[in-house]
Amino acid sequence: MEKACWGDAVSHRPSARDQIISVLSQCLKVIGLYQRGVHNALDLQLNHLELGFSNLPSAFDGFSILQLSDPHFGALAGTTERMLQLVSGLRPDLVVLTGDYRNEDYTNYEYVLPPLQELTATLSSRHGVWAILGNNDCAAMVEPMEDIGIRVLINETGVIEQDGESLYITGVDDVHAFHTEAAPEAMKNAPQGFRIALVHSPELADSAAACGYHLYLTGHTHGGQIALPGGIPVITNIKCPRRYASGLWRHGAMVGYTSSCVGTSVVPLRFNTRGEAVLIRLRCGAP
Ligand SMILES: [Fe+2]
Instruction: Tell how far the Cα of 237 is from the centroid of ligand 1, in angstroms.
Output: 8
Cα 136 to averaged position of ligand 1 atoms, centre (Å): 6
Handedness of CA 92, 55, 167, 217 (dihedral sign): negative
User: Is 7 inside any structural domain?
Assistant: no
Rounded to whole angstroms, what are the CA distances from 33 to 24, 25, 28, 53, 203? Answer: 11, 9, 5, 44, 33
DSSP string, 126-147: TT-EEEE--TT--GGGHHHHHH
Query: Around Cβ 206, how many Cβ atoms within 10 Å?
Result: 14
Separation of alpha carbons 70 and 201, rounded Å: 11
Q: How confident is the model at residue 170 (pLDDT cuts 50, 70, 90)?
A: very high
Buried b (16+ CB within 10 A) or exposed e, 60-97: beebbbbbbbbbbbbbbeebbebbeebbeebebbbbbb
Could you tell me if residue 9 is inside a domain? no
Reply yes or no on whether the pLDDT at 2 is more than 80.
no
- The identity of residue 262, as a single letter, is V
Q: How far is the CA of 285 from the centre of ligand 1 (A)?
A: 33
Cβ count near 179 (within 10 Å) = 16
Residue 128 lies in a domain: yes
- What's the total number of domains in the chain? 1
CA of 204 to the centre of ligand 1 (A): 14
Q: Residue 11 falls within a domain, yes or no? A: no
Contact 283, 242 (CB under 8 A): no
The model's pTM:
0.92
Q: How far is the CA of 99 from the centre of ligand 1 (A)?
A: 7
- Structural domain of residue 46, as residue ranges? 16-284
Taking the centre of ligand 1 as the mean of its atom positions, its distance from the CA of residue 265, in whole angstroms, is 8
Domain assignment present for residue 6? The answer is: no
Per-residue model confidence as pLDDT tens digits over 192-215: 999 999 999 999 999 999 999 999
* 103 C-alpha to ligand 1 centroid (Å): 9
Inside any domain, residue 3: no
Q: What percent of the chain lies above the pLDDT cut of 70?
A: 93
Q: Which residues have CB less than 5 Å away from ligand 1 (the ion)?
A: 100, 134-135, 220
Residue 10 lies in a domain: no
Q: How confident is the model at residue 4 (pLDDT cuts 50, 70, 90)?
A: very low
Q: Does residue 6 surpass a pLDDT of 70? A: no
Q: How far is the CA of 43 from the centre of ligand 1 (A)?
A: 20
Non-local CB neighbours of 229 within 8 Å, separated by 6+ positions: 272
Condensed to tens digits (0 to 9), the pLDDT of residues 82-134 reads: 999 999 999 999 999 999 999 988 889 999 999 999 999 999 899 999 999 99
144: exposed, middle or buried (Cβ count in 10 Å: 0-12, 13-18, 19+): middle
Which residues have CB under 8 Å from 47's CB, separation 6+? 276, 277, 278, 279
CATH number of the domain at 137, please: 3.60.21.10
> In whole angstroms, what separates CA 203 from the centre of its chain?
14
Q: Is 105 domain-assigned?
A: yes
